[in-house]
Amino acid sequence: MQISTASTRPAITAGPPVTTTFSPTAFASEVLPVKAATAQPQENQTLQPITVQMPQAPKLEWWEVHGVSPSIAAVVAVFVTAASLHWNTSRNLKAARKTTDDQFEHARQQANEDRTHAAQQANEERDHSAEQAKRDRLMEARKAVYGDLIDDYRKVQELIGGLPNIDPIKSPDFAQPLTAMSASVNKLWIWGEVDTVEKVREFYSQVNEMFYEALTLCGPIQEIQREIARKKAHAQKLETRGEDVAQHFREFKRTVPPHERQMPDKLAKEQQLQGELIALTQQIHQLRAELVDHNQENAKAIGEYSQFITSRQAKIMDQINKVMAAARAEVGLAGDIAILERQSEEMSTRAEAALNGKNSS
């Protein structure tokens, strides 16, 4: 391509701008054949055109045209940015949704756990209340049974103590206190602890044995007392008859003059009254002497019976202490039961000493 020095420039095919560095010295040395300058230019010298051989411009593809590549890059950048935003947004939404779902699931599980815990706590409270009510009923039942047992045993003691003076024929239900005590023991079979029930049943067994031994000992005593009663009744009749005879004898002396008393019939009547009165008096004196002996025998038998009761009561007291200790533990009473045991032993010793002193005197 020939380019003149006139203001003409080579046409450039549309394409991406080419950046070059222009150096006049390099350009002159490589392209322009510079002629040696004369010392002084000649006048009217004609300027010759300079021929410049420019390199051929490279052929550009369509995408290398000015503005296309940046547009594609911008579109790609926008697409990549949009895709990145979409992906990040989707990922964040998914993460947020998962976090929300996890929070909801945790809240649901926590709510279920809270409801379950509340239900369990309510059930436990109901069970505790029911168990406490059951223990209260059991405690009240035990207190009632122990109270009845103590009262029944007191009545059995009174029964055994007065057994010599009881006539089984006249009082067929005299053993009713022992029957009542047996009923209390059977109630405790239901309401008491096994260890306590065992101790109470052993206690009742000892009391029952004591009762029948006392009943055996009371046989001779009751026979003596029945004999005393018969002789007292007979003596009363003799005294009544003696008063009648004495009254007739006084009436005879009042109504019959002394001179008539010598008559055979009157004399016989007087002698009959006198003899009957003397015989009655002798019988009464004999009965009274026998009654004294029987009363002495009765007192001796009663003393022996009292000693038997005291000795057996001392043996039973050990079992009573065991029963009381178990009963106090069941009803929740604290304290040193040994103090009461020592006191019971001292009371038994004092009672036995008092009884022996009374009998010896």
Residues in the chain: 361
**Alpha carbons 165 and 302: distance in angstroms, whole number:** 10
**Type of residue found at 282:** Q
Task: Output the pLDDT for position 65.
Answer: 54
pLDDT, tens only, 40-94: 445 555 666 666 666 676 665 655 555 555 666 666 777 777 777 777 777 777 7
Domains of the chain listed by start with CATH number = 141-360 (1.20.1270)
Q: What pLDDT is stored for residue 39 in this prediction?
A: 45
Give the Cα separation of 164 and 88 in Å (integer).
111
Q: What is the pLDDT of residue 241?
A: 87
66 vs 14: CA distance, rounded Å: 7
In this prediction, residue 35 carries a pLDDT of 45
| Alpha helices (H) in 41-161, listed in sequence order | 68-161
DSSP code for 170: T
Q: Supply the DSSP string of 213-243, one letter for each residue.
A: HHHHHHHHHHHHHHHHHHHHHHHHHHHHHHH
Spans of the chain below 50 pLDDT: 1-41, 359-361
* pLDDT on residue 19: 45
Write the burial class of residue 276 (CB in 10 Å: 0-12 exposed, 13-18 middle, 19+ buried): middle
| pLDDT tens-digit series, residues 147-158 | 888 899 999 999
Contacts of 245 (CB under 8 A, 6+ apart): 273, 276, 277, 280
Residues whose CB is less than 8 angstroms from the CB of residue 32 and which lie 6 or more positions away in sequence, other chains included: 50, 52
- Give residue 4's pLDDT: 41
Task: Compute the distance between CA of residue 300 and CA of residue 289 in angstroms, rounded to an integer.
Answer: 17
Residue 45: its pLDDT value, please? 55
Token couple for 304: 């022996």
34: DSSP letter: P
Q: What is the SS3 assignment for 52?
A: coil
Neighbours of 201 (CB within 10 A): 16
The tokens for 104 are 């909801």
Pairwise CA distance, residues 131 & 119, whole Å: 18
Gyration radius from the chain CA atoms: 71
Which one, of 168, 167, 166, 152, lies nearest residue 208 by Cα? 152
Q: What token pair was written down for 216?
A: 């055996």
